[in-house]
Amino acid sequence: MKMNPKSVLLLTLDSCRYDTFLSANIPHFRALGPVYRAQAPSYFTYASHAAMFVGFTPGVAELREPVANPKFSKLFRLGKVGFPGLNPGGFVLSGRSVPEGFRRLDYLTLGSGAVRWFDPATPTGRSLTSDFDEFFYAGRNWGLAPQLEWLKARLSEAAWRPVFLFLNIGETHVPYFHEGATWSAEDNPCIPFQSVDRRDDCMTRQRACLEYVDRNCAWLLDAFSEATVMVTADHGDCWGEDGLWEHGISHEMTLTVPLVFRVAKQL
């Protein structure tokens, strides 16, 4: 299954730290291009995704490179919202959000989220999900298997229609667990205000989760091999730096994320 080259995949690894991405064995993600040490637009899920859904994806402020620095040139640009960048380019969209903009271009817009901010049964969840044609909420952080099953069925029905696909992955979010893991999902090594140092557990488990995600997303990346793909994180986590744990706090470690992408040739 190959998607139309005009298609777009935006994949967010929830809470994934930049150093985790660098140390992990993730050949499929790495094949997309160089890994940038980027700054996220916020330090928690809702705010960061709300920013990305109006074109403010993670970026590197010091670079004058399209996409790598959205201040220089955005991948997604809503026509009359925010600074357009010095170099026009990417997808120029209209409407109140990136998903709505692609829908107006007759794309099939599909989304799936794992963490609770994407629960369509809540007002905040509806604000993130209502602009998609279809949205699947996994209902738990380690929900990649049902998410991918749902996406495979929807993509097989898309035929050659261009697709905008958003996928939020929760395995890299606390408690850092994936199906088949050798540790318990009930054991969270990264609890705010904890006094015990479990940095090693955090690092080992988030890396294992990321490697699990890379293996299981291989077919999805292959399906979008001729299309535009961005893989990043909405924020990172603190693992004891300055006595801090987890996210929801403004800190270098919660704002530093990996960014890797491939832009299709027609752009």
Query: If pLDDT is split at 50, 70 and 90, which confidence band does 82 have?
Result: low
Residue 75 lies in a domain: no
Query: If pLDDT is split at 50, 70 and 90, which confidence band does 85 have?
Result: low
Residue 54 lies in a domain: no
* CA dihedral of residues 46, 49, 11, 85 (deg, nearest 10): -160
Q: What is the pLDDT of residues 213-226, one digit of tens each?
A: 999 999 999 999 99
Q: How far apart are CA 91 and CA 77, in angstroms?
A: 6
Q: What is the pLDDT of residues 122-151, one digit of tens each?
A: 999 999 999 999 999 999 999 999 999 999
Residue 213 lies in a domain: yes
Helix, strand or coil for residue 76? Answer: strand
Beta strands in the chain (DSSP E): 8-13, 36-39, 76-78, 91-93, 108-113, 134-137, 163-169, 228-232, 238-239, 245-246, 256-262
Mean pLDDT score of the chain: 95
Whether 178 and 171 have beta carbons less than 8 Å apart is answered as: yes
Statement: residue 267 has pLDDT above 60: no
Q: What is the DSSP string of 5-42?
A: TT-EEEEEETT--HHHHHHS--HHHHTTSPPEEEE-S-
End-to-end CA distance of the chain: 22
- Report the CATH number that the domain containing residue 210 is assigned in CATH: 3.40.720.10
Residue 71 lies in a domain: no
Q: What is the pLDDT of residues 55-69, one digit of tens each?
A: 999 999 999 999 999
Backbone phi and psi for residue 88, each to the nearest 5 degrees, phi listed first: -60, 145
Residue 200 lies in a domain: yes
Provide the residue range defining the domain that includes 239.
Answer: 8-33+96-262
Residue 47 lies in a domain: no
* Total tally of structural domains belonging to the chain: 1
